[in-house]
Chains A and B, each alone.
Chain A
């Protein structure tokens, strides 16, 4: 057995927090060094807590963790970047929550994955900067995350026949993890239609760095199609619904009714 250190430093992004006990919070954090961890932050709900402001969800912080009996204990915290714009606009807050929820649902505790850490950190930073469309940041995040998790969808060849995909509208099967040609797809159970432009953007995101991905300027309806398609695929892999998409739909609908 390797020697267990009493305390150690991590570079962490706070995924979520729960109130616990009198003034404590239980945090789920994603660290560069050890992947996802659960840590308790004592006394952070008090107004004069020194750590509180450095441990809000989405914050990228340097933490000193001590090994406790059940959880790690946060003994020091200093925010590297608190991304203040993520909590200044409701939809952006929803998108940031979505990224964080995906990482939380798809990862297991104490499994190091530096590329996922970097992807999450960069994507939160991009949402915070607001230089690129939030939809683009989120859709790019999804496709890269699937890659890093080993769920990369097949977008070049039909997953039933193996033939190269022709430039026309296709189907997408979550169960088979990729596109299906129209002939094989129309009778395939669970396969959903995907338009050629949507497929082209997915392929583009899949093979590009973010700097290359931003060249794409999908129309609003393509974003909508991609959003629905990815949610279908992600929910299938997770075998459970996500919370944030429902929240996003609700606030968009309510924003519409209030504007009148």
Chain B
């Protein structure tokens, strides 16, 4: 072997990551090898702690630190438990939180229904969501799944499961993005933007 075993094994580990090819993997490895020791120690600690110190919030299934059963949002006294925003992934929570426009709770499904890939309701945290309706005073479920075929499938299934339970079920509006161009919009988006048009004097 031209490359010593410890170095090669790190290269192999890096190249298993998404978007990292063999060249990038060796570049990163040799950077760490040449670089300051604290850098690799910090990286090693962060990696070791990643799985160990994280867990799922037992209410919304977002990722949280391992020592707590409820995440920061679910245990925050100022947030409104009557509204639950349903998203596909934890990163979607981050995106919505960055807007600062939502003060309710979340529910993370960890995926979306896909008939072709064989992802069914049992693979998602849907039963957990239905169970939440039974305990809390939930008034509204806001479905914030992606505007894709899979997101639509998930939204329709949720609607079916949540109907007749005394909660209002809504879905995020679909329309034209800021800075977009009508010329490039697809028919589906344009039709929905047209259907969801609003009075100009509303805001």
Contacts and interface: CB of A to CB of B under 8 A. Distances in A.
Given A53-B189, A243-B116, A244-B115, 19 more contacts: A47-B177, A48-B177, A53-B186, A58-B149, A79-B187, A82-B187, A82-B188, A84-B191, A87-B153, A93-B149, A93-B152, A94-B115, A97-B116, A101-B115, A243-B115, A247-B113, A250-B120, A254-B160, A258-B163
A21 B118 contact: no
A50 interface: yes
Chain B at the A interface: SS class: loop
A62 B92 CA distance: 31
B180 interface: yes
B96 to A, nearest CB: 13
A260 B157 CA distance: 16
Contact of A244 (B116, B121, B187): B116
Interface string A11-33: 00001110001100000000000
Interface size class for chain B?
Answer: 20 to 34
A248 interface: yes
Contacts, number: 85
Contacts of B180: 48
B51 to A, nearest CB: 23
B115 A93 contact: yes
A15 B19 CA distance: 24
Interface residues of A, number: 39
Contacts of B121: 250, 254
Contacts of A53: 185-186, 188-189
B148 A56 contact: yes
A207 to B, nearest CB: 31
Interface string A33-52: 00000000000000110101
Interface string B127-157: 0000000000000000000001100110011
Contact of B186 (A16, A82, A88, A101): A82
A260 B164 CA distance: 10
Contact of B184 (A50, A82, A88, A104): A50
- In the A-B complex, the 3 residue pairs with the closest CB atoms: A53-B186, A243-B118, A97-B115
Interface of A: 15-17, 21-22, 47-48, 50, 52-54, 56-58, 79, 82, 84, 87-90, 93-94, 97-98, 100-101, 104, 243-244, 246-248, 250-251, 254-255, 258, 260
Contacts of A90: 153, 156-157, 160
B191 to A, nearest CB: 6
Interface in B95-127: 113, 115-118, 120-121
A53 B180 CA distance: 13
B84 to A, nearest CB: 18
B75 to A, nearest CB: 31
Interface in B152-193: 152-153, 156-157, 160-161, 163-164, 177-181, 184-189, 191
A254 B117 CA distance: 19
A81 to B, nearest CB: 8
A154 B35 CA distance: 71
A251 B161 CA distance: 10
A70 to B, nearest CB: 12
Q: Quick one: which of B19, B156, B180, B186 has the most chain A CB within 10 A?
A: B186
Contact of B160 (A82, A104, A243, A255): A255
Contacts of B156: 88-90, 93
Contacts of A104: 116
Interface in B8-49: 18-19
5 contacts: A48-B178, A87-B149, A248-B115, A250-B120, A255-B160
A143 B57 CA distance: 49
Contacts of A247: 113, 115, 118, 120
